[in-house]
Structure 1
Amino acid sequence: MDSQAVVSRNHRAEAGADARGGVNSVEVAGLLLRLLTEAGGPMRLADLSRAAAMPSAKAHRYLVSLSRAGLVEQDATTARYELGPLMLRAGLAALGRSDALKRAERVLEGLAARTGETAAAAVWGTHGPTHVRLVEARHELAANVPPGHVCPMTYSASGLVFCAFGDATQTRPLAAQEVAQNRAMARPGAPTSLAALDRLAETVRARGFATTANEGEGGLSAVSAPVFEADGRRLRLALTVFGRVGRLNVDPAGPVAALLVEAARQLAAELHG
C-alpha cells in the first residue's frame, strides 16, 4: 500500500474515531509507525510529515513520545528516524508465535543434532538479518549468540544469503554502509567494495548457499541456505549452522552444505504444502 492510500485511510479513521470510541492520537502514532515500517529505511522528519500529510511540528511531537516509548529512535548523526528497539522486540515476539517459525525450529533441532553445532533461523529485520530462532549445540565449545542477534551483512553466512537472494532495495543500503566500515576498519576477510561484495553474492547464487570460514572477531565458521516463498524467488528466511573455526566442515562440496540445502528445500515445501 502506498503512502497516499495509508494517509487516506488514516483520515477516514480520524473522522470516525469518536463514533467508534477510539483514541485519535493512537491512530496518528500508528500511521507514523506504519510509514516507517514500509519505508525500508530511516526517514527525515520532513519526509515523514509530508507522507503523513501533517505539519512537521505535529509529527515531531508524536515522534518524541514514540521515542520515549522505545517505538522509534533517531540517529544522532543523520537526525533520521527509524523503528525503535521495542518495535523490534514486538516483531520478534510475533514471529516467534508464528507457525512457520515453529516448523523452522523443528528443522533447526534436526540440524543441530546431525551437525553437533548451533543452528539458527534468520529473517529480515529493521537492522538487517536477525536471528529469531536458535538451537544451541550441547557441548562446552558451542557457539551461541543472543536471540535477536543482527548478523553482519557482508561477512556472515546469513548476511551473504540475504545479499544474494534478498530484496536489494532493503539489503543494498545496509550492505553499502557495512562495506564502508569494512574499508575504514580494515576488517580481515570482509569485502571492502560493493564490487567485491557482488562477486561474493554471485558465488552464493551459483552455489545456492553461503559459507564463511572465519566470521568476524568471534572466529566462527558457518553455512547458510535460503528458504524461499512459494514463488521460489522471494527470500523468506535463512537456515544457518555455525560453530567455532575448525569444528564445522564448511567445504562447499561437503556434507554440511548439502544438509543445509536439503533442509531449506524441505522446509520451504512444508511451509507451502
Structure 2
Amino acid sequence: MTESSPKRADAPQGDIQAVTRASQILELFRPDRPALTVPEAAASLGLNRTTTHRYFATLVSAGLLERSRDGAAFVPGGLLVQLGAFALGRRAVVDLAPPHLVALARSSRLSSALSLWGASGPVVARVEEDNSNPVVVSVRIGHQLPVDSAQSKVYLAFMADQLRAERLMASLAGSERRKLVESVDRARETGLASTHIVDSDITAVGAPIFDESGICATMAIIGTARTLPVDTPGPAWRDLAGTAYELSKELGGEHHFPEDFAALL
C-alpha cells in the first residue's frame, strides 16, 4: 500500500512506514468489528502474520490495543479510549457553545470567544460579536493566544499537567514571569483571569469551561479599557461567569469551579 501523506525529508523511512502501518491497523476497527485477530489484520493489509503480530505487540505495549477478555483477539486499548473521550469532549463543547456565546455577547455588549488548547496555547475556535456596537473589538478564529492572555492564564491555572504549565510560564523572564505566576494563582482561586494590552488598549477576561474530566475550553469577553475595565469585576464579569458555569453544567463539569467563583454568580 502506498502512503497517503508526504514523507518528511529528515525522518527515517522505516519510522514513517511503522506509523502508517499502525494507523492502518487501527482503522480496521469499526462498530461492526470491535475486536480483531492477527490473521484478520494480516489478510486485510496483505502482511505476513509474523510482521502483523509484531505490530500488535508494539501497539499493546503503547496502550493503543489490549487483549480481549477471552485472549483470542485484540480490542482498542485504554489510551485510545482516553483520546477518544477527549476528542468527543472537545467536539461537544464546540457544538454546545454557540448559543451561550451569542447570549453572552448580547448581555455584555462585547465580543465573546471560545478557545481550545492547541500545541502550546489556546487557539480561538468560535467568536460572536455584538452587532449593536458600531465599533467591535474581536479576535481571529484560528489565532493562538499568547501565554499571558486571559484565556492562557485560565488554562495554566487548571490544566492537569502543572509541570507543563510551569514550563510554559518559564518562557517569560523577570517581572513578566512573576506577574504571570501571580495572575495564574489568582485565576486558580477565583476562576477568572484578565489582561490589558496597553498599546492597543484592548482588554479581555477569561473563564474556564469544564467537563467531567476537567478543563476542556476557555471562554472570554473582549473589549477596551472603557467598555471592559479589568481592575474591578463588573457586570460583564458576572455575565461571563454565569455563562461559563451554565455551559460547564451542560458538560457535567460544574463541580470543578473553585469556591470563590460562586461569589460572581
Considering the TM-score relative to the shorter chain, is it more than 0.5? yes
Q: Within 5 Å, which residues of 2 pair with 1:80-159? A: 98-138=91-131, 139-154=133-148, 156-159=149-152
Alpha-carbon distance change, 211 to 137 in structure 1, aligned in 2, over 3 angstroms: same
Aligned pair partner of 1:226 in 184, 208, 219 = 208
The alignment's TM-score, normalised by the length of structure 1, stands at: 0.58
Does 1:260 find its partner at 2:243?
no
- 1:207-233 superposed Cα distances (whole Å, 9 cap, x missing partner): 221122x226432111111112225xx
The alignment's TM-score, normalised by the length of structure 2, stands at: 0.59
Alpha-carbon distance change, 242 to 95 in structure 1, aligned in 2, over 3 angstroms: farther
Does 1:166 find its partner at 2:159?
yes
CA RMSD of aligned residues (A): 3.4
Q: CA deviation at 1:105?
A: 1.3
Residue number in structure 1 paired with 2:222? 242
- 1:1-50 superposed Cα distances (whole Å, 9 cap, x missing partner): xxxxx98x939949876621479xxxxxxx9xxxxxxxxxxxxxxxxxxx
Which protein is bigger by CA-based radius of gyration? 2
Q: Which shifted more, 220-229 or 11-20?
A: 11-20
- 1:172-226 superposed Cα distances (whole Å, 9 cap, x missing partner): 333322x13xx5xxxxxxx523x442222111222221122x2264321111111
Residue number in structure 1 paired with 2:71? none
Q: Indicate the structure with greater helix content.
A: 1
Contact 1:137–1:143 under 8 Å retained in 2: no
Contact 1:96–1:102 under 8 Å retained in 2: no
Alpha-carbon distance change, 114 to 126 in structure 1, aligned in 2, over 3 angstroms: same
Question: Could you say what secondary structure the match of 1:126 adopts?
Answer: coil
Hey, what's the Cα distance between the residues in 1 that align with 2:141 and 2:239? Answer: 24
Alpha-carbon distance change, 129 to 199 in structure 1, aligned in 2, over 3 angstroms: same
Does 1:10 find its partner at 2:22?
yes
Aligned pair partner of 2:176 in 192, 197, 204 = 192
Hey, what's the Cα distance between the residues in 1 that align with 2:226 and 2:211? Answer: 33
Alpha-carbon distance change, 196 to 272 in structure 1, aligned in 2, over 3 angstroms: same
Alpha-carbon distance change, 245 to 142 in structure 1, aligned in 2, over 3 angstroms: same
Does 1:272 find its partner at 2:255?
no
Alpha-carbon distance change, 19 to 205 in structure 1, aligned in 2, over 3 angstroms: same
The share of aligned pairs that are identical, in percent, is 30
Hey, what's the Cα distance between the residues in 1 that align with 2:238 and 2:165? Answer: 26
Contact 1:95–1:132 under 8 Å retained in 2: no
Structure 2: segments with no counterpart, 5+ residues = 1-17, 27-37, 48-54, 56-61, 63-86, 254-265
Hey, what's the Cα distance between the residues in 2 that align with 1:221 and 1:119? Answer: 12
Alpha-carbon distance change, 219 to 249 in structure 1, aligned in 2, over 3 angstroms: closer
Contact 2:90–2:216 under 8 Å retained in 1: no
- Structure 2 counterpart of 1:160, one-letter code: K
Hey, what's the Cα distance between the residues in 1 that align with 2:145 and 2:231? Answer: 21
Q: Which shifted more, 237-246 or 95-104?
A: 95-104
